[in-house]
């Protein structure tokens, strides 16, 4: 169940029977900027345990994301499609992406390189380390649903997939 604002943007999402977007809303709340881009999200209208804020550049590309979960904030800064820098407390993780002919073929996380193998649609489905051992896998069901996930991969949309993403989504 969901509720929408006058512009057609989802303003409330109730993914389970224990939350609602009708009457007194108890579902996740979503807010948008003047361009219709998702600006804020929180898992409950009052006393949320998880919140997120998003910032975009003039072309509508996300340049920063800040997520607070149970009092811990993770801020991620995106440098185009080339790099993202995430900071949680005193820990910073830098991820750089490598491309060939417009396709993402590899990445490095804090200097550790992984190579990406793709399916027939071009989605990276397996990440391999320098010894060619699989470190992450993401397999799709018909119509794009995730069939299997191990490690940390990205969906076709470019959104990271992890156990936390699947639960919150």
The contacts of residue 133 (CB under 8 Å, 6+ apart) are: none
How far from chain centre, in Å, is Cα 9? 19
Residue 32 domain-assigned (yes or no): no
* Residue of 64, 60, 26, 32 whose CA lies nearest to 46: 26
| Residue range 91-100, pLDDT digits in tens | 999 999 999 9
Residue 147, classed as helix, strand or coil, is strand
Number of domains in the chain: 1
Residue 117 domain-assigned (yes or no): yes
**Contact (CB, 8 A) for 75 and 66:** yes
pLDDT in tens, the chain (169 residues): 899 999 999 999 998 888 899 989 999 999 999 999 999 999 999 999 999 999 999 999 999 999 999 999 999 999 988 999 999 989 999 999 999 988 888 889 999 998 888 877 777 788 888 888 888 888 878 877 788 888 765 544 444 444 333 333 3
Q: What are phi and psi of 157, to 5 degrees?
A: -75, -10
Residue 159 domain-assigned (yes or no): yes
Residue 94 domain-assigned (yes or no): no
Given this model, what pLDDT does residue 152 score? 65
Residue 74 domain-assigned (yes or no): no
Q: Write the DSSP symbol of residue 74.
A: E
Residue 102 domain-assigned (yes or no): no
The Cα–Cα gap between 83 and 76 comes to 10
Domain that holds residue 169: 111-169
Residue 75 domain-assigned (yes or no): no
Residue 50 domain-assigned (yes or no): no
Given this model, what pLDDT does residue 15 score? 83
């Amino acid at each position: 169940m969901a509720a929408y604002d006058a512009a057609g943007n989802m303003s409330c999402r109730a993914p389970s029977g224990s939350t609602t977007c009708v009457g007194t809303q108890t579902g996740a709340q979503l807010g948008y900027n003047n361009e219709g881009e998702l600006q804020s999200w929180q898992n409950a209208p009052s006393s949320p345990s998880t919140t997120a804020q998003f910032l975009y550049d003039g072309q509508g590309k996300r340049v920063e994301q800040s997520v607070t979960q149970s009092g811990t904030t993770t801020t991620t800064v995106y440098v185009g499609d080339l790099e993202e820098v995430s900071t949680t407390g005193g820990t910073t993780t830098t991820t750089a992406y490598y491309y060939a002919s417009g396709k993402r073929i590899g990445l490095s996380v804090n200097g550790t390189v992984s190579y990406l193998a793709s399916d027939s649609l071009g989605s990276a489905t397996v990440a391999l380390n320098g010894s060619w051992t699989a470190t992450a896998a993401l397999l799709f069901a018909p119509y794009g649903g995730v069939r299997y996930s191990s490690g940390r991969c990205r969906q076709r949309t470019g959104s990271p997939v992890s156990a936390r993403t699947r639960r919150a989504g």
